[in-house]
């Protein structure tokens, strides 16, 4: 099944222009997000099942989800972990993957590199919609497992 990943679309966009994320116009993230959702809806309108991946807050999904629900039987997988884990993972990823800063920027990583201080991440409001939803703990091994998630989705 095709997978559409918002961050990969952003990386393709940045690559096209050949400059750092923070050298692009301020509206770039919004443009990329709009293209992501247009691409998703194009697949769905063409009767193509698709997996989409994006860590958007509820407010980003809110006005876009109705179109997807009109086009497809939507299921959502929400990953969650302990606060310490969700705070450290993106920060560590930013330190471990130098290209990430080029493509996406990360205020917390930039601040840490300048000051040595680790900032607390902004709060996250997960999407909530009246669609079948599977909550997955990602503290360690996925619970439920990937195979169980696939079985649950196929049974819907």
User: Which pTM was predicted?
Assistant: 0.85
Instruction: DSSP for 76-99, please give it.
Output: EEEEE--HHHHHHHHHHHHHH-HH
- ∠ CA(144), CA(132), CA(32), 5° rounding? 95
Backbone phi, then psi, for 144, in 5-degree steps?
-70, 165
How far, CA to CA in Å, does 7 sit from each of 75, 100, 101, 104?
A: 20, 10, 12, 8
For the domain made up of 3-155, give the CATH fold. Answer: Rossmann fold (3.40.50)
Token pair belonging to 142: 């996925």
Return per-residue pLDDT of the chain as tens, 156 residues: 899 999 999 999 999 999 998 899 999 999 999 999 999 999 999 999 999 999 888 999 999 999 999 999 999 999 988 877 877 777 777 778 878 888 887 777 778 778 888 777 778 899 999 999 999 999 889 999 999 999 998 887
């Amino acid at each position: 099944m095709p997978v559409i990943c918002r961050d990969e679309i952003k990386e393709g966009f940045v690559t096209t222009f050949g400059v750092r994320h923070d050298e692009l116009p301020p509206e770039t993230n919004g443009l990329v997000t709009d293209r992501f959702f247009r691409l998703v809806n194009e697949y769905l309108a063409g009767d193509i099942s698709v997996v989409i991946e994006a860590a958007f807050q509820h407010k980003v999904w809110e006005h876009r989800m109705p179109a997807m629900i009109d086009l497809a039987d939507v299921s959502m997988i929400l990953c969650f972990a302990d606060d310490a884990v969700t705070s450290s993972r993106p920060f560590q990823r930013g330190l471990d993957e130098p290209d990430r800063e080029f493509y996406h920027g990360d205020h917390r990583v930039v601040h840490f590199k300048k000051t040595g201080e680790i900032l607390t991440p902004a709060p996250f409001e997960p999407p909530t919609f009246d669609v079948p939803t599977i909550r997955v703990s990602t503290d360690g091994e996925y619970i439920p497992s990937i195979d169980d998630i696939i079985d649950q989705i196929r049974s819907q």
